[in-house]
Structure 1
Amino acid sequence: MSRLKVFLTYTDDEFAGYYSASGLAALQTHADVVRNTTGRVLAGRELAEASAGCQAIIAHRSVAGSRETFAHAPDLLAFLRAAVDISTVDVAAASELGILVTRASAGFATAVAELALAMILDLARGISRARHDYAHGRAPVVAKARQLAGTRVGIVGYGRIGRQLASHAAALGMRVRAYDPAIPADELGAIGAPFETVLGDSDYVVCLAASTPETENLMDAAAFARMPRDACFLNLARGELVDEDALLAALDAGRLRGAALDVGRAPDQKPSARFENRPDVVLMPHVGGMTAEAREHQTMDTVRQIAALAAGRMPDGAVNATQAFRVRPLLAREDTPGAAPQRP
């Protein structure tokens, strides 16, 4: 096959914030690149038509990988998501049509952990509350602030982000407790505790749990009722982990001192509009992993994946390698590890 042709879905604004000129330059050493020049997020058949003639699509998280796109893209061999989350990619449809789906690796643990710590500081010192009053022409009257040293943070979900946050918090003199049923008790050690204990014994509860059918609405009315009065809740994981009605009720009743949300149930996992303009809620628009370092990590993952395909190898991050029969012509040898079988 001749040189690969790749469609980059990013609008100009998305490219500036989420991809990079250095990533594009590196990508162009392995493939011819077609940019999205419409100024719009493309979807469905329109995405297929815009990428006509391209063997790969590199998709920003705003772009869904739908059955309609795959069905109208006869040249498409691979759909690369430049993020870990592939919940908006119809992997079953891609597999049925022999299209490879890949995802980027998680290079954002440090970035998200640092944002969580910044949000804890904001809640402790009332920074957003004061800014809210100033913006509305009022002299701020902020409740007595807290020092972090000596306070308690409970981490729900002890993966890479949770571990880094625990390290940061401990360095500031905070006491750390953690709950994660997927991690053996001996690995959690002294900081491990049951879910109810973490909720009931924390000044700040930080939700970093994985999103599964079992964890939907993990933070419900009962969970918020277990938290100490005047505690704070933070979510930097997924919006579906939180019952928003229950969170609003806890805030309105004054049970919680405040909340901080980087994710929610709005499109693209952004916080819901119902939390806007509340002085007791710190909001960020799903940018926990949006540091230059974290974004470049995932950008370069897509470059490495295209480079692997161009060299006839199955790339790291492949989700459906055994079903992706369209990439067979690219593979260097019949016995290439991870190579997809011919279509029956």
Structure 2
Amino acid sequence: MSFRVLLAHTEEMFAGYYGERALAELSRHATVIRNTTGAVLAGRALAEAAAGCDAIIADRATPGLAQTFAEASGLLSFHRCAVDISTIDIPAASAAGVLVTRATPGFVDAVAELGIGLILDLARGITDAALAYRGGATPEGRMGLQLSRAVLGIVGHGRIGRRLEEIARAMGMRVLVNDPAERDSLSLPALLAQSDIVVCLAPAIPETENLFDARAFAAMKRGGYFVNLARGQLVNDEALEAALETRHLAGAALDVGRAQDQRPALRLAQRPDVIATPHIAGLTREAAEHQAMDTAQQVAALAAGRWPDGAVNPEAARRLAAKGIRP
């Protein structure tokens, strides 16, 4: 079957999250239509751009809205070039008979490595010293926190949490874990009370909305540090700001937040006691290419009449079933 694919990434997102090698692999199996508008496509605009296409490959900024699935009558599949599918309306896709797929997490090492970098920066004031020197001033020496004698609390013990624990233990840190899925994990209050540095890696589900609120920050050690590598909605920004204002927390590092594209809120990112990065934890060439290659392989399977990996709603993929492609 001749397969046509809309690659919805803008040029900026393509450079960071797809790349030429993955595009070349995708092009071996399908005719690729690029998003050349310079804008993130959504709703009707995405459906119109995908006219005549069998599939859409969407970066994390491109949502899968009900209007797209309703109006893209020839669409067979919608491929998220990421693990997070929270902006895809799965019920709407299923109602339309469209298969949704996701990529596998190729960013575990990348996120864990950035986490270690942020922890080191908080503990030793690296950014503060560098900014002072760049501004023409000589910074004063600052007493640091020796990580080999520090306690790291990890909230959420999935693949990234386990990798972070492995690296931290190799550095001599004592590691505590809170994860409801693990029988022997500490309670959250117990972990917060004992940890010098707390890293949030919990999943973003309704039960974890504002997991880190005023009560949680109050339960942390005075002078402790907080790191968020998970999702912005897990943290109440006002509560974090208050904990920093009162100096109950000595600092925070945020790669995610409640601003657009899950970036840290500017108000927090501007604070001198906050180290902020713009949602780049998984942004390495290796991590991005891993997930892009996943989507290329999914399209390759469909173009060959085979069932792809990463299916989210296989039972609802009626349009593919009509072409003889089934799980």
Give the alignment's TM-score, normalised by structure 1.
0.92
Structure 2 spans left out of the alignment, 5+ residues: none
Q: Match for residue 328 of structure 1?
A: 321
Aligned-partner Cα distance in 1 for 2:290–2:51? 28
Corresponding position: 1:77 with 2:76: yes
How many pairs align? 327
Q: Match for residue 233 of structure 2?
A: 240
What does residue range 234-273 of structure 1 map to in structure 2 within 5 Å? 234-273=227-266
Q: Match for residue 189 of structure 1?
A: none
What is the letter of the counterpart of residue 314 of structure 1? W
What is the letter of the counterpart of residue 44 of structure 1? G
Contact 1:124 1:146 in 2 (8 A): yes
| Identity percentage of aligned residues | 55
Q: Match for residue 342 of structure 1?
A: none
What does residue range 26-45 of structure 1 map to in structure 2 within 5 Å? 26-45=25-44
Contact 1:128 1:279 in 2 (8 A): no
CA offsets 1:161-190 (integer angstroms, 9 cap, x no match): 0111111011111111101011232xxxxx
Contact 1:82 1:298 in 2 (8 A): yes
Q: CA deviation at 1:304?
A: 1.1
Secondary structure of the structure 1 residue equivalent to 2:147: coil
CA offsets 1:310-338 (integer angstroms, 9 cap, x no match): 12222111111111101124435xxx4x2
Aligned-partner Cα distance in 2 for 1:277–1:137? 20
Q: Match for residue 284 of structure 1?
A: 277
Q: Match for residue 313 of structure 1?
A: 306
What is the letter of the counterpart of residue 182 of structure 1? A
Q: Match for residue 188 of structure 1?
A: none
CA offsets 1:2-26 (integer angstroms, 9 cap, x no match): 3100000111121111101110111
Q: CA deviation at 1:50?
A: 1.2
Contact 1:313 1:330 in 2 (8 A): no
Contact 1:153 1:204 in 2 (8 A): yes
Aligned-partner Cα distance in 1 for 2:60–2:141? 38
Secondary structure of the structure 1 residue equivalent to 2:101: strand
Aligned-partner Cα distance in 2 for 1:250–1:134? 28
CA offsets 1:178-218 (integer angstroms, 9 cap, x no match): 01011232xxxxxx322111101011000000111111111
Q: Match for residue 148 of structure 2?
A: 149
What is the letter of the counterpart of residue 5 of structure 1? R
Structure 1 spans left out of the alignment, 5+ residues: 186-191, 339-344
Secondary structure of the structure 2 residue equivalent to 1:165: helix
Aligned-partner Cα distance in 1 for 2:8–2:20? 15
Corresponding position: 1:195 with 2:188: yes
Contact 1:132 1:279 in 2 (8 A): no
Q: CA deviation at 1:291?
A: 1.1
Aligned-partner Cα distance in 2 for 1:133–1:90? 47
What is the letter of the counterpart of residue 233 of structure 1? F
Aligned-partner Cα distance in 2 for 1:89–1:131? 41
Give the alignment's TM-score, normalised by structure 2.
0.97
Deviates more, 1:49-58 or 1:323-332: 323-332
Q: CA deviation at 1:133?
A: 3.6
Secondary structure of the structure 1 residue equivalent to 2:148: coil
Q: Match for residue 341 of structure 1?
A: none
Contact 1:94 1:100 in 2 (8 A): yes
Q: Match for residue 130 of structure 1?
A: 129
Aligned-partner Cα distance in 2 for 1:136–1:252? 25
